[in-house]
Structure 1
Amino acid sequence: MFMITNSASGAAALHRGDAAQDVVYAWLKKHVLTLPRNETTFLTEAQVCRQTGVSRTPVREAFLRLEADGLLRILPKKGAYIAPITEIEVDAIMQARGLVEEWCAQQASRFGASLADELDRLIAQQEQVRSDRVAFIESDRDFHRAIVRAAGNPVLATFYESLRDRQVRMGVHAISVGSRVDEVLAEHRAIAQAIRTSQADEAAAAVGVHLARTLAALRAPTLVDWSPGSRAVV
C-alpha cells in the first residue's frame, strides 16, 4: 500500500510562503506519479492535512486539480481514489500517441534546423534531470509537445495534451526499466536529426521506433525503489 510520508521539500516551500494549494498539489503529484502503475491507493483529506500541516481547503483544491489532470478520482465525502493503469489503457494510449505523433513529425519536419535546434535544447535539458524520474518525464513531454505544436493543428495539440496527462505515470515506470533513460535520449536525438534534414518519412519512422520501444518498456517488469521520495532509476 502506498504511504504518504513527510516531504522536506514540501515543508520548505511552505516556509517560503508559497501558496499552500500549489505546494500540496506539487507534493501530491510527485507521490502519485511515482506510485507503481499496477497499484491501487486511496487518500483522504485528513491524511494529507496531517502530513502537510495545511488546512482542508488547499488539500481539497489540490485534489480537484489532480482530478482534472486525470491522475485521481474524487469520491465525495471519502477522499481520492488512484486507480491502477491497466494493460488495455497502456495499449490504447500508445496507439493514439502513434497516430498523432508520427503525422505531426512529418508535418513539423518542414521547419528543419529551426525546430531541430529547439529539440536539441530540450534534449540537453532532459539530460540534466536524468536522475529525477518525474522531472525527466516532464522534460520528455516538452520534447514531444514541441513537435506536435509545430505541426500546426490545434485540435490535435489539445487532444495530445490529454493523452500525455494520462501517460506521465506510465512514463515513470517505463524509464525505470534497464537502460531506458539512455535509450530515450538516443531516440530523441534520432528524431531531431531527421527533422533537421527535413526528412518527413524518416522523422515519422524515428518517432514510431521510439514509441514502440517505449511500449515494450511499459510492458516490462521493473525492479525499482518506488518508495515516496526515491529518485533512483535502475
Structure 2
Amino acid sequence: MSRKDSAQDVAYRWLKQHIGGLPRHGGTFLTEAEVAEATGTSRTPVREALLRLESEGLLQIVPKKGVFVPPISDAQVEAVMQARALVEDWAVRRVTPSSEEFLAELERLVAEQEAAIEDPVAFIDADRAFHRAIVRQAGNPVLAEFYESLRDRQVRMGLRAVAKVKNRAETVLTEHRAIIVGLRDSSPAEAGEALATHLSSTLAVLRLPDVGSWGPER
C-alpha cells in the first residue's frame, strides 16, 4: 500500500468513527484542516477520504464552507428501523432451513465481529455484512437493493449504538448468535423472534438521548 493510500485510509477511518460519535440532532461542520491536524495527515488524503464518505452518504461537501454532517432525526431512526424489521423478518424466515455453507458464512462474520470488538468501524462493517448476508440469501433482488439503500443511515446509527452503551458490542454478538441458533434449528419462529429481539434492543439504544461525545480517541 502506498503512503498516499495509507494516509487516506487513516483519514477515512478517523472520519467514519468520528462521525459515528457526533450527536444525532443538529448538523455539524468540519474542515479539511481540522481533520488533517487530528489525523496527522495532509489535506490531499483528507479530501479523498471525504469524497469517499460523501459517496457513502455520511456527509455533504459544501463548496467554500467545509463538510456538513447532517442530523438524523428521531423520525428517521424510527423509519429506518421499521423498514429493517420488515425486510429482515421476511428474509430470516425465508432462509429457514439454512444450508451449512450459509450458516458457516454467518459464523465467520460473527467471528470477525468478535475479533474487531475494539474497533467500532470494523465491527459495524462486519455487522452490516451479517445482516446483508441474510437478506441476500432470501433471494429477492428487489428487496436486497432496497435494503442496501438504507446502508448509509445504518452505518452511522450502528456506530452510535455500539458507542453509546457499555458492552453493547458483546450484546450484539450474543443476539447474532441467537439468530444463527434459530436458523440452525430450522425454526422460522425462533429465528424471527431472535431477530426481533436484536432489532428492538438496537432501537432502544438509538432512542437514548445524546450524552457527551465519543470519537477515535476512545
Report the residue type matching 1:211 in the other structure: L
Q: Structure 1: which 4+ aligned runs deviate by more than 6 Å?
A: none
Q: Percent identity?
A: 54
Q: Give the superposition deviation at 1:133.
A: 2.2
Alignment of 1:144-155 (within 5 A): 144-155=131-142
2:23 and 2:210 in contact (8 A); partners too: no
> Structure 1, residues 26-78: CA drift from partner, whole Å, max 9, x if none?
3322322232333532122344445544244x443332221121111121222
Letter in 1 for 2:60: R
C-alpha spacing 1:137/1:19, structure 2 compared with 1 (3 Å):
closer
- Out of 68, 73, 79, which is 2:60 matched to? 73
Query: Could you say if the C-alpha distance between residues 110 and 177 of structure 1 is closer, same or farther in structure 2, counting changes exceeding 3 Å?
Result: same
Of 201, 204, 217, 1:216 maps to 204
Normalised by the length of structure 2, the TM-score is 0.85
How does 1:178-193 map onto structure 2 within 5 Å? Answer: 178-193=166-181
Q: Does the aligned pair in 1 maintain the 2:11–2:41 contact within 8 Å?
A: no
1:156 partner SS: helix
Correspondence 1:16-165 to 2 at 5 A? 16=3, 18=5, 20-38=7-25, 40-51=27-38, 52-56=40-44, 58-165=45-152
Stretch deviating more after TM superposition (100-109 or 114-123): 114-123
Structure 1 Cα separation of the partners of residues 212 and 120 of structure 2: 11
Structure 2 unaligned blocks of 5 or more: none
In the other structure, the counterpart of 1:201 is 189
SS of 2:150 mapped into structure 1 = helix
Paired with 1:87 and 1:103, the residues of 2 have a C-alpha distance of 25
> What TM-score do the two structures reach when normalised by structure 1?
0.80
Q: Structure 1 residues 187, 224: closer, same or farther in 2, change over 3 A?
A: farther
Provide closer, same or farther for how the CA distance between residues 21 and 132 of structure 1 changes in structure 2, counting only shifts above 3 A: closer
RMSD: 2.5
